[in-house]
Every structure is written in C-alpha cells, then in structure tokens.
Amino acid sequence: MFRFASPLFLLLLLVVAFVIFLKIRKKSKNIIKVSSLKGFETFPPSLMAGVSKFIPVLKIISLILLILALARPQFGDKKINVTTEGVNLILALDLSESMRALDFKKDNKIVTRLEAVKTVVREFIMKREGDRIGMVVFGTNAFTQIPLTRDYNTIAFILDRLRIGAAGPRTAIGDAIGISLKRLEDIESKSNIIILLTDGKSNSGELSWQDAIKIAVQRKVKIYTIAVGTKGEAPFLVDGLFGMQYVYQKVDVDIDALKTIAEKTQAGFFEAGDLKSLGRIYEMINNLEKTKVDVEKWVEYKELYPGMLAMGLILFIIYIILTNTRFLRVP
C-alpha cells in the first residue's frame, strides 16, 4: 500500500505548475516575429544551445522531487483489524539463591535452574499473540520487573538480564502473588492469569500465600504453579577451601502449598525436573489459556523520501552550478 504521510505538501505542486504557466505565457508574448529565416536553417544548433534548453527542466524536476520528499511517500501493507486470542498474564519468577542449583541441562551443558527457566519462558513469550504480559520477580522481596505490555521483545530483553539474588536470598510467594494481582488491576481483561514458578517454600514477605489466594479467588484470577528442580539434594557450585567445587544441598519445595494455590484458583499445578518437561508445561499452559480479543495490526511503512530528497538536492545543486558558470545569463 502506497501513501503520503504529509499529503498537504503536495499542494505546492500546484504552485509550481502555476509559476510554469505564467513563465510560458510571458515567454510567448516576448517572441520577436521576423519575415523570414531563409539562409539560417542550414546552421545546426550548438551542443550548448541544446543543453541550455534543458536547464529550466532540471530546476522543475528538482523542485518536484523536493516537494514529494516533503510529503513523505511511504510503502507498506494495509492496516487491518483481526480477531486473535489473548489474556492478561503475569509471569512470577523466583530469583532466590536456590535457583543457582545446577540440576538442568541445556545443549548437553549443565546450567542453573534460572538459566533453564529463561530459555523456556522466552519461547513461551514469543509464541503468544495478542496477550498483555507482565513480569514480577521475587526472593526475600517481590517487585514488578515489567508491567503489562504487548512489547514481547522488551520482555525477552529484560528476562535475559535477570540475576539470581536480585530480590534477596529467601522466598516470598505471598508477596509475589499480591504484586501480580496488583499489576493485573492496571488493565481490565476478561481473563487474568498468573504463572508462578518457584523451587522453594514461602519463608519471607508480609503477605501470606493463604491470604493472597483468597484475593485471587475473589477476583477470579487463575494461578498456575510450577515447582522447578529435581527432588532431594541438588548440586551447587561454591567457592571452597580448594577452589570452586560442587556441594549437594537439599532444597525444600512446598508442593502442598503450590497444589492448593492452583486448586483454589481453578488452575493447574506442575512439576518440572528437566528442561524438556518445563517446556511441555509452558506449552500446555499456552494451549489452555487463550481467549478471543480484537487486535489492530499496524503496518510498518517504509519511508521512501530519503531517495527523493537526495536526488532532488543533487539536481538542484547541478542547476545552481550550471546557471552560475557556463550557462550564466547576463540580464
């Protein structure tokens, strides 16, 4: 689809046309009539005389190109309204110290739980269309990392920069749910979802998870819960007396609490002990939680004016040079 972003500038073309008309009319009045040109027809016109006739045309073309550049010509596809599927969705991610556990593999390389979560969540985000997605992170404290938005590239950019321990070493599940509910108030939607991912038990925060789910039930917010990590002891890389070494530590995950949160809010509880199962869980949620919404797809128009502007300026400069040197007219 072709368009002009600033079409009013095209009115200047009428001014150019009017000036050309006046010049042609004036020139026709100044023609000298002679009785005969016999004897002169054998003289061929010189090259300079032929080129000089083109000089005014050069000026006109340059002005037309500059005016078209001012009108900002653009090319793109037509803007359409489509019906797609989407929800208001908050990703609540655990950044506590236990997320350093090295019990996940990615491309045959051992990685932390958080690194594995980043990989799967990034894919999940990019598969959504029409959703508003926000992010809450929690440890000892909980806070909003990004409010509800459809800018998935920005969400992915911020996700990649999450760091373990940024919210403190402990786990405040109740506060995480509370902040997530607060963010869902920002924009009204028929469907509001929280995906809570953690590898621990609630041992910090001002709001208990029991009180938090009562609020969620009242507001009809579904909370999907995911317990991430292998059961029992998990390996951690620590700086010991003889350098970096692996130490196995037990990480307590409150499975009962996570199940209760999911059941009370009519959602689902999942356990992920490896990258593949974690990916399947997010894929299941992706397929479950969709609703029809109207989304206006905006066109990304490509600007065409730079080429016209450059060509117009070049031709105008050539015109100035020619009229002030070889083709200078003496009044």
Task: Tell me the pairing of strands 192-198 and 88-94.
Answer: parallel
Instruction: Tell me the one-letter amino acid at 292.
Output: K
Instruction: Tell me the one-letter amino acid at 182.
Output: K
Q: Where in the chain is the domain with CATH 3.40.50.410?
A: 81-296
Exposure string of 79-97, with b = 16+ CB inside 10 Å and e = fewer, is: eeeeeeebbbbbbbbbbbb
pLDDT of residue 312: 87
* Segment 228-256 mean pLDDT: 87
Where would I find the H helices in the chain? 12-29, 47-70, 113-127, 152-160, 173-184, 209-218, 255-264, 275-288, 305-323
Q: Please name which of 149, 126, 123, 135 lies closest in space to residue 90, comparing C-alpha atoms.
A: 135
User: Strand, helix or coil at 1?
Assistant: coil
Contact 125, 163 (CB under 8 A): no
Contact 140, 172 (CB under 8 A): yes
Q: What mean pLDDT, rounded, does the chain reach?
A: 85
Exposure string of 258-292, with b = 16+ CB inside 10 Å and e = fewer, is: bebbbeebebbbbbbeebeebbebbeebeeebbee
Contact 67, 12 (CB under 8 A): yes
User: Strand, helix or coil at 250?
Assistant: strand
**Between these two residues, 328 and 211, which has the higher pLDDT value?**
211
| pLDDT tens string 179-225 | 999 999 988 888 899 999 999 899 999 999 999 999 999 999 999 99
* Segment 282-304 mean pLDDT: 71
pLDDT of residue 202: 94
User: Strand, helix or coil at 126?
Assistant: helix
Q: Is this prediction's pTM over 0.75?
A: no
Kindly indicate whether the domain formed by 81-296 is annotated with CATH number 3.40.50.300. Answer: no
Q: Is the pLDDT of residue 330 over 50?
A: no
| pLDDT tens string 144-170 | 999 999 899 999 999 999 999 999 999
How far is the C-alpha of 225 from the C-alpha of 238, rounded, in Å?
29
C-alpha to C-alpha distances, 161 to 158, 164, 200, nearest whole angstrom: 5, 10, 22
Contacts of 307-314 with C-beta under 8 Å, sequence gap 24+, read 308/65, 308/66, 308/68, 308/69, 308/73, 309/65, 309/66, 309/69, 311/65, 312/62, 312/63, 312/64, 312/65, 312/66, 312/68, 312/69, 313/62, 313/66
Contact 136, 183 (CB under 8 A): yes
pLDDT of residue 122: 95
Percent of the chain with pLDDT over 90: 50
How far is the C-alpha of 165 from the C-alpha of 98, rounded, in Å?
9
How far is the C-alpha of 166 from the C-alpha of 173, rounded, in Å?
15
